[in-house]
Amino acid sequence: MSKFSERVATLSSEQRRLLEIQLRKKGFATPSVAQTTAASPVDGSSLEQPATEALAAVQSGIGSMHFSLFFFSDDGERTTEGKYELLLASARFADRHGFAAVWTPERHFQDFGGLYPNPSVLSAALAVITERIQIRAGSIALPLHHPLRVAEEWAVVDNLSNGRIGISLASGWHASDFVLSPQAYHQRKEVMFRDLEIIRRLWAGEAITFPGVNETEVAVKVLPRPVQPHLPVWITSAGNPDTWMRAGKIGANVLTGMQGETFESLRKKVDLYRRSRAEHGHDAEAGQVTLMLHTFLGEDNDAVKETVRPALIEYMKVFLKQSENGARRSVERRVDSHTDEENELRAAVAFEYYFKQNALLGTVEKCATMIDNLIGSGIDEVACLIDFGLETRMVLESLRYLNELKELYSQRESR
């Protein structure tokens, strides 16, 4: 019995119930703790067909899936050189092997994600070292910025990449981030949708009037002119169905995560989104739904599990703590605080669930089952989050297994 199983075994049924409630509040749609620690293979094989059957199912299936790389969490506190080695090297790999995109986020003032304060700067670097892959922001916290600056910066990157950029927009949630734009915090979601329309107009070449000095108004256009006539846009959703429907209404794509979701709940939101697109005059099937998943593949499920366990548990501890701190700073709601030991236990429980059925962790065969379920849920693209604390060398070596998985679904699309 593992250290984790021993600790969980000492909990009373009431303690287990409370732990599950806490995790669900944080977006971890966990099964019961008893289920996660029941005597069953640790490799997640309860979700996995025999290898030959799984591969045969993929090769003969009717669905396809796009794969991209996603960055979100690397530590900005490191003082060593080569902080961006993983980003640059994996982007080159993805470009050579036909991945759909590389996503970089906007993260401020946190160790967790501190390498990524400005996706346009990093995307400019990626644009000049790649040739084919899409370069995307995942996501821009739009209420923190003047829409003119967003349009200008990404017009530059669009030119550097010869028309390969796309952006996902988020309303932001960390209250401390809004030192950059404190007046926008309470109306941040409405500000995001309002400023998106301004950016679209600027991108199309329209002159828009903005307040200038001495109570004057100034009409300006964005330069340089972008390569793409229309800016590819995603709306980032943490799960609110209203956000999915609003994305459909304006003809945007959707970027989301598996946190707090099941295959069934994803299917319902995708259906809402596509109905909203159709109701507002957009092609229902043209919209793209991209799902972020933690990703690390290898030859053996047990080995992968033990490799990723320390990093993912630490990742989840930091995430839970940041979620708690962000909510505590908000004037909108109060939250209960938890000790480090309680957070460690919650993260350990979340890890067990994540490994079994909420991430791309394990062999190609195990992950193919996950991808097939996501195709059934209406997902078009998986954005593979690969920077959650593992050594750069290990992550880069694992990309060949991810490429094998991608190729299975590329074969479907080419038929």
Q: What is the pLDDT of residue 345?
A: 83
Does residue 336 carry a pLDDT above 80? no
Mean pLDDT score, 183-200: 97
Window from 110-119, 185-194, 257-266, 349-358 with minimum mean pLDDT? 110-119
Q: What is the pLDDT of residue 232?
A: 98
Q: What are the pLDDT digits (tens) for 71-115?
A: 987 666 666 778 999 999 999 999 999 999 999 999 878 766 678
| Closest alpha carbon to 367 in 378, 377, 356 | 356
Q: What is the pLDDT of residue 157?
A: 98
Q: What is the pLDDT of residue 78?
A: 66
Share of the chain above pLDDT 90, in %: 64
Q: What is the pLDDT of residue 7?
A: 56
Bridge partner residues of 210 (DSSP): 218
| Closest alpha carbon to 316 in 353, 279, 366, 283 | 353
Amino acid at 414: S
Does residue 11 carry a pLDDT above 90? no
Considering the domain 3-174+290-414, what is its CATH architecture? Alpha-Beta Barrel (3.20)
**Rounded to two decimals, what is the model's pTM?**
0.83
Q: What is the pLDDT of residue 321?
A: 66
Mean pLDDT score, 320-338: 50
Mean pLDDT of the chain: 84
Pick from 69-73, 286-290, 342-346 the range whose average pLDDT is largest. Answer: 286-290
| Closest alpha carbon to 64 in 414, 411, 368, 409 | 409
Window from 23-32, 40-49, 56-65 with minimum mean pLDDT? 40-49
| Closest alpha carbon to 299 in 405, 370, 372 | 405
Does residue 14 carry a pLDDT above 60? no
Q: Given its phi and psi angles, is residue 189 left (phi above 0), alpha (psi -120 to 50 degrees) or beta? A: alpha
Q: What are the pLDDT digits (tens) for 215-250?
A: 999 999 999 999 999 999 999 999 899 999 999 999
Q: What is the pLDDT of residue 13?
A: 59
Between 371 and 322, the higher pLDDT residue:
371
Instruction: Please state, in angstroms and rounded to a whole number, the distance separating the CA atoms of residues 140 and 166.
Output: 11
| Closest alpha carbon to 91 in 82, 73, 103 | 103
The pLDDT confidence band at residue 38, using thresholds 50, 70 and 90, is: very low
Q: What is the pLDDT of residue 322?
A: 58
Tokens representing 116 are: 């990524």
Does residue 160 carry a pLDDT above 50? yes
Q: What is the pLDDT of residue 314?
A: 84
Mean pLDDT score, 4-33: 52
Between 282 and 108, the higher pLDDT residue:
282
Ordered by start, the domain boundaries in the chain are 3-174+290-414
Q: Tokens 């409370």 belong to which residue?
A: 18
Mean pLDDT score, 175-193: 94
Mean pLDDT score, 180-199: 96
CA angle 79, 125, 207 (to 5 degrees): 125
Does residue 269 carry a pLDDT above 90? yes
Does residue 299 carry a pLDDT above 50? yes
Q: How many residues does the chain have?
A: 415
Q: What are the pLDDT digits (tens) for 353-402?
A: 889 888 999 999 999 999 999 999 999 999 999 999 899 999 999 999 99
Contact between residue 99 and residue 133 where contact means Cβ atoms under 8 Å apart: yes
The pLDDT confidence band at residue 194, using thresholds 50, 70 and 90, is: very high
The pLDDT confidence band at residue 406, using thresholds 50, 70 and 90, is: very high
Question: Which residues fall within 8 angstroms of residue 226, CB to CB, at 6 or more apart?
Answer: 154, 155, 158, 159, 163, 203
Window from 46-50, 263-267, 350-354, 406-410 with minimum mean pLDDT? 46-50
The pLDDT confidence band at residue 323, using thresholds 50, 70 and 90, is: low
The DSSP string of 358-395 is: SSEEE-HHHHHHHHHHHHHTT--EEEEE--SS--HHHH
Instruction: Please state, in angstroms and rounded to a whole number, the distance separating the CA atoms of residues 398 and 386.
Output: 10
Q: What is the pLDDT of residue 210?
A: 95
Mean pLDDT score, 53-66: 58
